[in-house]
């Protein structure tokens, strides 16, 4: 039986070898609109990894449509770079596609030399906090022409297909949505009028590239915006794109950047949004591609074989593991490194105007500058600590040809990744721990579990180099009462080594404190299976079911000395976490100092004075400190030693993975 993922598919007359589509994503790797060697190397790796089709972009259609960090397609001067990029993908076994877009009111004036962004109506964006200029009719017509010209350049450059982004809150979707389109002319009002601009763009592109050239549209299945567009209107738009504009395929994404429904983070269950591609597939007779949080072959196969879509978009999945398709085809699925949905390197970096990187793959975005060369003189490398940093160091050192031994004091590899995985919606971190452990296993690295390293162990191993990745230990608050029986440590709680009463005060509002509070907030709520059972049988009203999903059995308060909760989360994760704190009724007290834990609660100090909060359990989540006590003893041996991860300095999993890689390459 043919694997559904590897059945060929045809878009227009273009045959694609498998059903894996890498969608266009902001990479931040262009330089003044020009394609760079960095960008080419990034996509070459994904093409070699076996994806059926790869879309790049988005690419600009004029100078107001993006920034200099975008690929340029609005001038012939960019044709040579576009050609190099298309060839890099095609010559390495994948089909190539270039996405075009105009960001509309989502552009920032500082990206376009202080010019005012444009939109269908002069309605400010919550994303940019700027008010755009409402387009005149002649300006709209000119943008249509520019889309068509840019598509012509894409074809001329050698790309196998062109795609237009018609969603996510950018210009075309701004015309589509009644939320942002308040026009009273032929481009506003009725759905037919609001669809006009998008259909005109696609019709002009079809005329520019001809009937046999594949034309795709990436569009929302639901924009998840209040007073915006839901599934039904967008299904009508999809039908019009296929029948009136002669589009060849539709790639279905979700949400605008302003939407308050998580879209790409780990809290979104795998394959959740495939129902939207199914709804559109039922309306059209052209291939439909499902998107978002499809990060494993099992989910991908299911949504295709169940008729939810014809192809799957695997974007961040292929950032994390470029060779995912090749591994599946070779029967090595267990060796895949799965995207964790953390967004730390891929999406959060863009807010910092940095190029895309990846927590799971330290080479992503660094393909040219981070090779893994074989060592000139292989050494005996001892890695102490089996968390994210230690495992990655061991893996890379082994790949370089060193003789590697890995020591872990507990019974399993993974370290603090399992702490990160404990709160609701964070289970992908446990999968990452397992993925790295599998990489250790397939390399036959000399592994020592349940082993506490001391001087004798080091002398017995006789290493040439040591990588110390022993992580961190919790900070114990220097206040009276921390040794009382109702005081527990957050790490013990997250690992199910401790329990709480009904009234809980969490001391510390950083990442661990917030995660612990959300972990506790789930206690007493409906499970997903229970929710479906009760909903399908109409046992309770939808409103009551919602309450039963978010109202747990514990009353939780978070205390934070600083003025901000969750300061050490990535941007993409933090807003969702804060939203959940509110949704679950968790009280956050910022600017609050813990003074003393009493037998019945905790004494605190705020700007209003001193008070006592009653609590059945006090949870300590006041941070962590490096655990590097072996460093002094190792220094006495004169064996070269590199510290990575929290043992070097408290950071995020991203830091540990990248430091582990760099330490191994430097040996």
HEC string for 464-522:
CEEEECCCEEECCCCCCCCCCCCEEEHHHHHCCCCCCCCEEEEECCCHHHHHHHHHHHC
Q: CA nearest 57: which of 90, 86, 95, 18?
A: 86
Percent of the chain with pLDDT over 90: 88
pLDDT at 175 over 90: yes
What is the structure's pLDDT at 76? Answer: 97
CA dihedral (190, 193, 195, 197) in degrees, to 10, reads -150
Residue 90: which residues within 8 A CB-CB, separation 6 or more?
47, 96, 158, 160
C-alpha span between 397 and 640 (Å, rounded): 15
Confidence of residue 582 (pLDDT cuts 50, 70, 90): confident
Q: What is the pLDDT of residue 352?
A: 81
How high is the pLDDT of residue 263?
85
Q: What is the DSSP letter of 31?
A: B
The CA-atom distances, in angstroms, between 400 and each of 48, 260, 373 are: 21, 44, 6
pLDDT confidence tier of residue 1, bands split at 50, 70 and 90:
confident
* Mean pLDDT across 331-350: 90
Q: Which two tokens stand for residue 432?
A: 């990452």
User: Which pLDDT belongs to residue 455?
Assistant: 94
pLDDT of residue 249: 98
pTM exceeds 0.75, yes or no: yes
Three-state SS for 640? coil
Which residues does 382 contact at the CB level (< 8 Å), separation at least 6?
404, 405, 407, 458, 461, 463, 465, 466, 467
In sequence order, the 6+-apart residues with CB closer than 8 A to the CB of 210 are none
Quickly state the pLDDT bin for 127 (edges 50, 70, 90): confident
The average pLDDT across 649-666 equals: 96
Across the chain, what does the average pLDDT equal? 94
Show the domains of the chain with their CATH numbers: 4-351 (3.20.20.70), 380-473+625-666 (3.40.50.720), 476-622 (3.50.50.60)
Contacts of 201 (CB under 8 A, 6+ apart): 143, 144, 147, 148, 164, 166, 172
Residue 267 pLDDT > 90:
no
pLDDT confidence of residue 529: 94
pLDDT of residue 351: 78
The mean pLDDT of 524-544, rounded to a whole number, is: 95
What element of type H or E holds 140?
helix 137-157
Distance CA 367, CA 372 (A): 10
Q: What is the pLDDT of residue 423?
A: 86
At 284 the pLDDT is 97
Residue 110: per-residue pLDDT: 83
Least confident of 56-65, 256-265, 447-456, 545-554: 256-265
Element (H, E) at 253: strand 249-253
Helices (H), 557-615: 571-583
Q: In 10 A of CB 216, how many CB atoms?
A: 29
């Amino acid at each position: 039986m043919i694997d559904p993922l590897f059945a060929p598919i045809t878009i227009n007359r273009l045959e694609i070898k498998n059903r894996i589509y890498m969608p266009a994503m902001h990479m931040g790797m262009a330089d003044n609109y020009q394609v760079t060697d960095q960008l080419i190397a990034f996509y070459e790796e994904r093409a070699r990894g076996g994806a059926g089709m790869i879309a790049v972009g988005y690419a600009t259609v004029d100078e107001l449509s993006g920034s200099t960090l975008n690929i340029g397609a609005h001038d012939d001067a960019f044709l040579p770079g576009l050609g190099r990029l298309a060839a890099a993908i095609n010559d390495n076994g994948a089909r190539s596609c270039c996405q075009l877009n105009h960001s509309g009111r989502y552009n920032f004036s500082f990206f376009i030399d202080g010019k005012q962004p444009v939109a269908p109506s002069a309605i400010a964006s919550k994303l940019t906090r700027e008010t755009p200029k409402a387009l005149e009719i002649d300006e709209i017509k000119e943008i249509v022409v520019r889309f068509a010209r840019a598509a012509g350049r894409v074809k001329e450059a050698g790309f196998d297909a062109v795609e237009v982004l018609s969603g996510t809150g950018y210009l075309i979707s701004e015309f589509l949505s009644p939320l942002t389109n308040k026009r009273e002319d032929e481009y506003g009002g009725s759905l037919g009028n609001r669809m006009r601009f998008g259909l005109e763009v696609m019709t002009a592109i079809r005329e520019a590239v001809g009937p046999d050239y594949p034309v795709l549209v990436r569009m929302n299945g639901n924009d998840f915006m209040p007073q915006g567009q839901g599934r039904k209107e967008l299904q009508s738009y999809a039908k019009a794109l296929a029948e009136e504009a002669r589009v060849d395929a539709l790639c279905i994404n979700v949400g605008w950047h302003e939407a308050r429904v998580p879209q790409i983070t780990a809290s979104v269950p795998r394959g959740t949004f495939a129902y939207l591609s199914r709804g559109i597939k039922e309306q059209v007779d052209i291939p439909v591609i499902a998107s978002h949080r499809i990060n494993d072959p099992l989910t991908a196969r299911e949504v295709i074989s169940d008729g939810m879509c014809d192809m799957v978009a695997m974007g961040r999945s292929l950032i994390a593991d470029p060779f995912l398709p090749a591994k599946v085809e070779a029967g090595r699925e267990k060796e895949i490194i799965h995207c964790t949905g953390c967004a730390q390197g891929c999406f959060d970096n863009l807010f910092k105007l940095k190029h895309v990187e990846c927590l799971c793959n330290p080479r992503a975005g660094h393909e040219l500058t981070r090779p893994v060369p074989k060592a000139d003189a292989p050494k005996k490398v001892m890695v102490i600590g089996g968390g994210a940093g230690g495992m990655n160091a061991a893996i890379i050192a082994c790949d370089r040809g060193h003789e590697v031994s890995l020591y872990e004091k507990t019974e399993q590899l993974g370290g603090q990744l399992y702490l990160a995985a404990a709160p609701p919606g964070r289970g992908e971190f446990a999968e990452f721990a397992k993925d790295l452990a599998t990489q250790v296993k397939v390399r036959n690295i000399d592994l020592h579990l349940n082993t506490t390293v001391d001087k004798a162990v080091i002398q017995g191993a006789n290493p040439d180099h040591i990588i110390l990745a022993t992580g961190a230990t919790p900070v114990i608050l220097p206040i009276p009462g921390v040794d009382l029986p109702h005081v527990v440590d957050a790490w013990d709680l997250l690992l199910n080594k401790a329990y709480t009463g009904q009234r809980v005060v969490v001391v510390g509002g950083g990442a661990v404190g917030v995660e612990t509070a959300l972990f506790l907030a789930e206690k007493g709520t409906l499970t997903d299976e229970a929710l479906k059972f009760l909903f399908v049988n109409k046992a309770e009203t939808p409103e009551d079911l919602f309450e039963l999903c978010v109202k747990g059995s514990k009353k939780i308060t978070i205390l934070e000395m600083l003025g901000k909760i969750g300061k050490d989360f990535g941007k993409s994760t933090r807003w969702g976490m804060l939203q959940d704190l509110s949704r679950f009724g968790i009280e956050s007290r910022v600017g609050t100092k813990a003074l003393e834990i009493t037998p019945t609660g905790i004494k605190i100090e705020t700007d209003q004075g001193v008070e006592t909060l009653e609590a059945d359990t006090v949870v300590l989540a006041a941070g962590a400190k490096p655990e590097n006590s072996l460093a002094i003893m190792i220094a006495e041996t004169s064996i070269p030693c590199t510290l990575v991860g929290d043992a070097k300095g408290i950071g995020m999993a991203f830091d540990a993975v990248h430091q582990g890689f760099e330490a191994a390459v430097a040996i």
